[in-house]
Amino acid sequence: MVTRPAVEASGVSKRFGIREALRDVNFIARRGELHGLLGPNGAGKTTLMRVLLGLVRRDAGCVSLLGRNVDPGSAPLPDRVAALIDTPAFYPYLSGRANLELLARLDGESGGRAIRVDRALVQTGLAVQADDAVAGYSAGMRQRLGLAAALIRTPQLLFLDEPTSALDPAGARDVRALARRLADEGAAVVLSSHDMSEVEELCTMLTVINGGRVVFSGTVGELRMLAPAAVHTLRTSDDCTALRVAAERYAMKVTPIAGGGFEVSAAIEDLDAYVIGLGRAGVAVRHLERRTRSLESLFLELTGHADPESAMPAAAADEPLHESSVAS
Amino acid sequence: MSIRGSVAVAGVEWSKLFAQLKVRLALGACVAGPFAFAAAMRLQSSLPTDTLFGRWVTDSGFAVPLVVLGFAALWVFPVFASIVGGDVFSAEDRYGTWSAVLTRSRSRAEVFAGKVVTALAFSATAVAVMAVSSIAAGALIIGRQPLINLSGVLLRPEQAAVSVVLAWVSVLAPVFGFTALAVLISIVTRSSVAGDGLPVLAALTMQLLAFVDSPAITRPLLMTSAFDAWHGFMTEPPYFKPLLYGTTVSFLYAVGCLAVAYRLMLRRDVGR
């Protein structure tokens, strides 16, 4: 039997007045997968999550969560779908525990409610402050409480929007471990974050959004391979001649490195031609290595925020990246 | 939409209500106010003779709930309606909790129904508490003497009691109408200040229109007119036309306001 993805969204569009927040977005996240959602501020990540959850009505497209269609006007969110969106907010005059109990009552299941609330409080490190009024909670404690509110739904699909933004390093580590554990147990976790290292460390799949459009969707490895201008370090027997050959015959960016050698930013076919050209020019290649690029620099390129001095060709920043259009 | 889901939402809202100081204070005032009034009437020599039944307030304990009812119709009932009705939706905007509420296993329709039921139930509870309190205050502090009605007929204590209860029941319809108006304002403005204040302002405006020389046909269309419909129970013979008009007008206000509010609730975007 083929299991449907935990999240299936196709052709999702949303407009706020004249501003197009999402345009023809397709998104799929599977069970057991930690799926990163990346994009600069205002790219549409949170709006996409809100649309997927039915908090914001879509203008076009279809959304299904755990195999059930989402219609904000009629059906409730499917059971076992949970979310931590934005900075979580609660009733400040109630304790953390009372807030969770009320939310659990909204879910309707009475069996084991108190146990689930207690367990979520322990999992998020809030057991000690559980009976304090939320009005006195710090931003980090509210974020933990938001996570606890999601966990009491024993999620099979969990949306986390910047879940570690208000947490200290230890808290952030705990949240990452929790997200990974949930994914290992078979849940789909969709995580948006500005922290590239966090996404790189956690996520197996990535979707990059810019200007309301999906500009990349695939694995982290595929993203690296799809980089429009791979960077290689090159050392030759005659760097001066090699630089001159590059400048005269090939459209590529070559940057000398302190201590010898240089960086070459070029598509792989251009690099092949350049290396052959060096051989014809009597220059030996002594060292050629593809430099691992950080997800951050790739992200900046994809979203058109790259340093103008960087290696990315200008045209690539304007076009969405698809496997067929980018040299690997 | 399931009834079970709406009941679950109403239960949660009811728990939240009674965790709030303002709600407990309002209900406390409903209990204490009539007793304070009856005690003051008993102690002082002058009477509120410019109000209906004010001149009988020390002669019959049944006059006390009617004087309280006349005063509450002017000032208190619109406040009752707006305390919860004007805040039950906008409080989620104020606290930023819509995302938390709408990512549980309850549809928007169930959330709407649960909240509206809570607002209506609170308004009814507040009216009931004030009615019971004022009847008890009259009976305990003044006594259960016969009451002279508006036609000058002496009502036996049991007849007076029935008339007083009917008079209080008759104001439920306009109270529900104002609660529905407060719900609509709460949803439209997303502001508790507007939700609490504008229904009271609307009631005052309607009362002003009733006092000025407005066309006679418009007066029955004012929801506040229904607050005076109980005068018909206190005449000989009684007349019920204002009650019928008032209840119908209040019902139309309530249905209209709730229909618009429901539509807005289903269509609203939470967060942008």
Pick the residue from chain A with its C-alpha nearest to B265.
A73
In one-letter notation, the amino acid at residue A70 is: V
Considering CB atoms only, which of A55, A87, A146 is closest to B102?
Answer: A55
For residue B16, list chain A residues with Cβ-Cβ distance below 8 A: 91, 94, 102
For residue B98, list chain A residues with Cβ-Cβ distance below 8 A: 55
pLDDT at B217 over 80: no
- Predicted local distance difference test score (pLDDT) of residue A29: 92
Region A161-175: mean pLDDT is 82
The nearest CA of chain A is from the CA of B23 a distance in Å of: 13
For residue A94, list chain B residues with Cβ-Cβ distance below 8 A: 16, 19
What is the tens place of the pLDDT at every residue in B47-71? 787 888 888 888 888 999 999 998 8
User: Is B111 or A164 the better-scoring residue by pLDDT?
Assistant: B111
Reported as a pLDDT band with limits 50, 70 and 90, residue A2 is low
| CA-wise closest residue to B36 among B124, B144, B140 | B140
DSSP 3-state assignment of A321?
coil
- Predicted local distance difference test score (pLDDT) of residue B272: 55
For residue B267, list chain A residues with Cβ-Cβ distance below 8 A: 57, 73
| CA-wise closest residue to B262 among B101, B117, B46, B144 | B117
Reported as a pLDDT band with limits 50, 70 and 90, residue A215 is confident
For residue A43, list chain B residues with Cβ-Cβ distance below 8 A: none
Reported as a pLDDT band with limits 50, 70 and 90, residue A326 is very low
Residues 6+ positions from A320 with CB-CB distance below 8 Å: A213, A214, A215, A216
- Predicted local distance difference test score (pLDDT) of residue A293: 59
Average pLDDT value over all residues in chain A: 82
Q: Which of A96-110, A254-268, B112-126 has the lowest mean pLDDT?
A: A254-268
Q: How many CB atoms lie within 10 A of CB B136?
A: 17
Region A102-110: mean pLDDT is 83
Average pLDDT value over all residues in chain B: 89
- Predicted local distance difference test score (pLDDT) of residue B110: 93
Reported as a pLDDT band with limits 50, 70 and 90, residue B115 is very high
| CA-wise closest residue to B122 among B211, B13, B214, B39 | B13
Are residues B64 and B48 in contact, defined by beta-carbon separation less than 8 angstroms? no
Taken in order A109, A113, A117, A119, is the CA torsion positive or negative?
negative
Region B99-107: mean pLDDT is 89
Considering CB atoms only, which of A57, A78, A85 is closest to B99?
Answer: A85
Instruction: Determine if residue B238 is left, alpha or beta; phi over 0 gives left, psi from -120 to 50 gives alpha, anything else beta.
Output: beta
Reported as a pLDDT band with limits 50, 70 and 90, residue A162 is confident
Reported as a pLDDT band with limits 50, 70 and 90, residue A232 is confident
What is the tens place of the pLDDT at every residue in B147-162? 888 888 888 999 999 9
The nearest CA of chain A is from the CA of B178 a distance in Å of: 26
- Predicted local distance difference test score (pLDDT) of residue A295: 64
CA distance B242 to B142: 30
User: Is B43 or B260 the better-scoring residue by pLDDT?
Assistant: B260
pLDDT at A231 over 80: no
Please give the structure tokens belonging to residue A102: 């009320």
CA distance B7 to B111: 9
- Predicted local distance difference test score (pLDDT) of residue A159: 94
pLDDT at A308 over 80: no
Region A178-188: mean pLDDT is 90
User: Is A150 or A251 the better-scoring residue by pLDDT?
Assistant: A150
Residues 6+ positions from A60 with CB-CB distance below 8 Å: A11, A12, A13, A24
Mutate to test the interface with A, among B14, B97, B99 (most CBs of A within 10 A): B99
Please give the structure tokens belonging to residue A154: 């024993």
Region A59-72: mean pLDDT is 87
CA distance A130 to A125: 9
CA distance B251 to B230: 17
Q: What value of ipTM does the predicted structure carry? A: 0.82
Mutate to test the interface with A, among B17, B103, B265, B266 (most CBs of A within 10 A): B103
What is the tens place of the pLDDT at every residue in B135-145? 999 989 988 88
Mutate to test the interface with B, among A106, A153, A156, A190 (most CBs of B within 10 A): A106
Answer yes or no: do B105 and A47 touch at CB < 8 A.
Answer: no
Are residues B184 and B150 in contact, defined by beta-carbon separation less than 8 angstroms? no
DSSP code for A162:
S
pLDDT at A325 over 70: no
What is the tens place of the pLDDT at every residue in B194-214? 888 898 888 888 888 877 777
Contact of A106 with chain B, judged by CB distance below 8 Å, is answered with yes
Answer yes or no: do B270 and A56 touch at CB < 8 A.
Answer: yes
Are residues A126 and B133 in contact, defined by beta-carbon separation less than 8 angstroms? no
Residues 6+ positions from B217 with CB-CB distance below 8 Å: none
Region B71-94: mean pLDDT is 88
- Predicted local distance difference test score (pLDDT) of residue A318: 34
Percent of chain B with pLDDT over 90: 44
Region A286-299: mean pLDDT is 73
Mutate to test the interface with A, among B4, B105, B118, B192 (most CBs of A within 10 A): B105
Please give the structure tokens belonging to residue A4: 């449907």
pLDDT at A323 over 60: no
Q: Which runs of consecutive H residues, i.e. helices, occur in chain A? A: 45-53, 96-107, 113-123, 139-151, 169-184, 196-202, 220-225, 239-249, 268-280, 295-302, 314-318
Q: Which of A48-62, A286-300, B97-111, B215-229 has the lowest mean pLDDT?
A: A286-300
Reported as a pLDDT band with limits 50, 70 and 90, residue A303 is confident
Considering CB atoms only, which of B16, B19, B266 is closest to A73?
Answer: B266
Region A78-95: mean pLDDT is 89
Residues 6+ positions from A136 with CB-CB distance below 8 Å: none
- Predicted local distance difference test score (pLDDT) of residue A100: 93
pLDDT at A313 over 80: no
The nearest CA of chain B is from the CA of A300 a distance in Å of: 24
Percent of chain A with pLDDT over 90: 27
For residue A108, list chain B residues with Cβ-Cβ distance below 8 A: 4-5, 8, 105-106
User: Is A268 or A157 the better-scoring residue by pLDDT?
Assistant: A157
- Predicted local distance difference test score (pLDDT) of residue A305: 62
- Predicted local distance difference test score (pLDDT) of residue A226: 65
- Predicted local distance difference test score (pLDDT) of residue A141: 87
